Every structure is written in C-alpha cells, then in structure tokens.
Amino acid sequence: MEPRQYIRLSVLNDMIHDTISARFEGQRFWVLADITNHSYKADKKIHYFELVEKAQNGNAITAKMLGKSWGGGAVRIEEFEKNTGQAFTNNLHVLVQVSVDYHPLYGLSVSVLDIDSNFMLGMLEQQRNATLERLVKENDYIQKVGDGYLTFNNRLKLPAVIQRVAVISSSSSAGNEDFRHTMLHNDFGYVFQIDDYYTVVQGDNNAKLFLNKLIEIYNTGIPYDAVVINRGGGSQSDFLIFDNYNIGRAVAKFPIPVITGIGHQKNVSIADLMAHTHTKTPTKAAEFIIAHNRSFELGILALQQNIVIKSQQVFHAHYKELNELKNAISRNARELIQLHGEELTRTNHQITSSSREVLYTHQKNLILAAQQLAQSPRMLFQQQKNDFWNIKNSIQNAASDYLRHEKLTLEYHQKSIRMMSPQNILRKGYAIVKVHDKIISSAENIEAGHEIELILKDAKLKSIVKEKIQYNGRETDL
C-alpha cells in the first residue's frame, strides 16, 4: 500500500492565509451587526468581541465572526462613546468598518477600524420618537401640541410661593449638592424645606427604582409644592433612563408639579417634555424656583407701591374738596353758634326768673313744714309707744298659747313612743327573732336546722329550728 500524500497543518493555514490575503487585502467593508461577548483590556487598549447577525423574526443567530479593535480602531471607538454617550458593549446594534484577517494560530476574524456614531444616534432617536408616539397614543392625558407636549403635569399651576420641595437624585450627585447650595444660600433670604429621596438616576434598567421613589413621594401625603429631579453631567447613555416609557408616563400624570434639572446640555429627554418645567442643570432648577418666588415678592412689592401711589392720588384729588367742606363747616358752625347764642341768652333769663319763683314757693312750704314737724314728734312718740305695748302683750299671749300646745303634743308623742318601745312590746308577751345578729320579720330564708336567737323581756334564747310550718298571718291561725 502506497503511503498517503499529506501536508502539515501550518502549510494549510499558510495557504488559507495567502488566499484570504490575496482576496481581501486592502479592502474595507461597512458591516451592520450586534456586539456580543465583549471584553476590554484597558492596559493594552484592545477590545475583544463577536459580531453576530440575528434573524429578523427572532433572536436566532444567522452569522457570527470574531472581532477585535486596537490602535486607531480603539481610538475611533472611544470617540464614538463620547459623541453618542453610549458605551461600546454587549447587545449594541452598530455599523462598523472592518477588515478581514486570518491568523494561522487564531483563525479568521475581523478588525474594527471605524464605527458610525451617526447611525447609533439615529437608532437612539428612533427609539425616543417611538416612545413619544406610544405615550401620546396610549395615554389621554398626554397630547402633542406643535413641537411640544401638553400633559396633566405641565397643566398644573405652580403655587404662588414654592417652599417645600421633594428631590429625587443620587446620594453622591454633585449636581444635587449644587442645587441645595443654591437654594439654601440664595440672595433673598428665602427659606426652603428640601426632602431628599435618593435612588439610582442612570441606566435604563434602573427605571423601576426611580418609579418607586415617585410612588413613595405620593404615598407620604406631604403637600409638596414641587418635585425636582436632579442629576449632574454624564454620558448620553447615562440619561437613557429619562427616555424610559414608564418614567415618562409617571411624570406626565404626577399630581405635583415636576421640575427637571437633569444636566443634559445636548438634548431634551422625554421626562423633560412630560414635566411641568425643565431646566438644563440642577443649579438652573434652583435658580428657577428662586426666580419664581422672587417674581411673587416683586409682584407684592409692586402692589404695595401701587397702593401707596393710588392712595396719594386719591388724597390729593379729595384734598381741595375736603378743605372747602372744612371751611363750610366752620362758617356754618359760627352762624349756628351766633343764632343759638341769642336763644340761649333768652332762655337763661327765663330760667333765672322762673327759678326765683320756684325757690320762693318752696321756701314758704319748707317753713310751714318745719312748724308742723316741731309739733308732730311728741304726738308720734306717744302713738308709737302705745302701739309698742299692744304688740308686746300680743306676743306674750301668743307665745304662752304656742308653748302650751307644743307641750301637750310632746307629752302625746312620749306616751306613743313608750307604748311602741321594744321593752313594752316584750312585756306584752312578744319576742324578737334574730338570725346572724339581724332582726327578721319573715321566715322566708329560715329552714329546719338553722340556729335562731329569741329575745324575751327577761332573757335571750338560742335554739335550732326543728320544723317550719307556713302561716298566712291571719289572726284565726293563732
């Protein structure tokens, strides 16, 4: 048997390498694929991953290729992350420029040389627009008006003065610290009560945690004037949570005005569009609240100034009229005084004349009364003396009669008491029956065998009941 012809594996790999190099050398291809199994070696700045293509009607993988990126390709990936705010990681649908490589040891792969940032931004924008369309379609309290949106929340009226605020933010947020500092150190001395509700405010997968904080604020029942959503700067991917459908819907329906200070300078998030008021940063949110309160204060000060001005105008308008009225009153008063002065003089003369006549008449009457009084005391004294002796005799007679009657009544009662006394009754042959040192008048609770005590006029007898015979109390039974 002749020996089989063979070649070494390395020779075969070299042949494949030469063939692929000859076919794909210098060529670049833009490929649409998903990233999986991604890892990054930071010390070498090399990305390792797989590019996969999935079936349109499911998640089945229809094509797969090993991939890597380093050098210029890694730099372009870094630029992509800065431009889009999206980290280069698993489950990312990307448009990448690749070259085909074959290594005798590591096999077939592609090298990513470039990545299209605009494609990714377009994908994010499509997702955002789809979420906005769904919000309008599925919720009757959200309406699209021109380029904006009318929601239940942004139709709420802000209180005239905002004082009590609930803040949703990260516990380590520098932006929230800026918000607090601006609120508490404002130039107008306004005092605020700020309640913090800390949670994670980045990453679309943390949307439920964020929603729980909104629910917690609502369930407290505290009458907050506004709810502020704060977040500092960050990459665009960090803000994807604020494009979440459920968060957008909750903000749009929330019964307390929501003010956003998310800190996203480039775009307006869905949460911003659904909220009552959106500002660019937490500091701007604080400045908005302070400006709102300042506007109210300025309105009050302006109203105060208007009242002062109007009062002065009214005063000056009526000053002349009041002055004329004053002069007329003074003139009329003088005329009335003069007129009534003459009448008072005549009346005074009449009173003086009449007074003399009255005094003369009463003087005569007093003299006559004095003469009569000089004679009357002796007669009155004798009459009163006689009346006194008559009253004295009547009192003595009445007292004697009363005492005699009461004495007879008392003697009668004494006789009755003596006749009814126990000693007198016992002498007539009656006895007193006691049970347990208590006098009884009925045998209802006494039975044969009970001990009883009989009290007679000259002795006490203790005995045991031998027999109980009922007796109806009629005299014939005795």
Average pLDDT, the chain: 85
- Token duo for residue 79: 């630029």
pLDDT score for 476: 47
User: Whole-model pTM?
Assistant: 0.52
Euclidean distance between CA atoms 194 and 285, whole angstroms? 13
Percent over 90 (pLDDT), the chain: 34
Which residues have C-beta within 8 Å of that of residue 396, sequence separation ≥ 6? none
161 contacts 218 by C-beta, under 8 angstroms? no
pLDDT score for 266: 56
214 contacts 250 by C-beta, under 8 angstroms? yes
CA–CA distances in Å: residue 355 to residues 345, 351, 361, 375: 15, 6, 10, 31
What 3-state class would DSSP assign to 367?
helix
The crossing angle, in degrees rounded to 10, of helices 207-220 and 245-253 is 20
Q: Is the pLDDT of residue 474 over 80?
A: no
Strand 107-115 and strand 93-103: the pairing is antiparallel
306 forms bridges with which residues in the sheet?
A: none
Q: Is the pLDDT of residue 375 over 80?
A: no
297 contacts 317 by C-beta, under 8 angstroms? no
> What is residue 43's DSSP assignment?
T
Note the pLDDT tens digit of each residue in 10-22. Answer: 888 888 888 888 8
Domains in the chain (CATH in brackets) are 9-115 (2.40.50.140), 140-295 (3.40.50.280), 426-477 (no CATH)
Strand 258-261 and strand 61-69: the pairing is unpaired
62 contacts 53 by C-beta, under 8 angstroms? yes
Note the pLDDT tens digit of each residue in 391-406. Answer: 888 888 888 888 888 8
Euclidean distance between CA atoms 56 and 94, whole angstroms? 16
Q: In which order are the strands placed within the sheet that holds 193-198?
A: 193-198, 164-169, 226-230, 258-261, 277-279
- Token duo for residue 95: 């448009």
Sign of CA dihedral 433, 438, 441, 444: negative
> What is residue 354's DSSP assignment?
H
Euclidean distance between CA atoms 274 and 286, whole angstroms? 19
pLDDT score for 287: 95
pLDDT score for 45: 92
Q: Is the pLDDT of residue 203 over 70?
A: no
pLDDT score for 91: 77
Q: Is the pLDDT of residue 297 over 90?
A: yes
Pick the closest to residue 47 from 72, 25, 67 (CA basis): 67
pLDDT score for 90: 84
Note the pLDDT tens digit of each residue in 41-53. Answer: 989 999 999 999 8
Amino acid letter for position 476: T
265 contacts 238 by C-beta, under 8 angstroms? no
Euclidean distance between CA atoms 336 and 298, whole angstroms? 54
Determine the average pLDDT of the residues in 451-473.
83
Determine the average pLDDT of the residues in 435-449.
81
Amino acid letter for position 227: V
Note the pLDDT tens digit of each residue in 246-285. Answer: 999 999 999 999 999 986 655 688 999 999 999 989 999 9
Range list of H helices, 139-227: 174-184, 207-220
Q: Is the pLDDT of residue 188 over 90?
A: yes
What 3-state class would DSSP assign to 398?
helix
**Residue of higher predicted confidence among 372 and 77:** 77
Work out the widest C-alpha separation in the chain, in whole angstroms.
193
Determine the average pLDDT of the residues in 140-156.
93
Query: What are the φ and ψ backbone dihedral angles of 89, each rounded to 5 degrees?
Result: -155, -170
Q: Is the pLDDT of residue 442 over 50?
A: yes
Q: Position of tokens 């300078």?
A: 265
Q: Residue 297 CB: number of other CB atoms within 10 A?
A: 12
Euclidean distance between CA atoms 201 and 241, whole angstroms? 7
126 contacts 224 by C-beta, under 8 angstroms? no
pLDDT score for 238: 55
Q: Is the pLDDT of residue 438 over 60?
A: yes
Is 285 exposed, middle or buried, given 0-12, 13-18 or 19+ CB atoms closer than 10 A? buried
Of 58-62, 158-162, 166-170, the poorest mean pLDDT is in 58-62
Q: Residue 237 CB: number of other CB atoms within 10 A?
A: 17
> What is residue 3's DSSP assignment?
P
186 contacts 243 by C-beta, under 8 angstroms? no
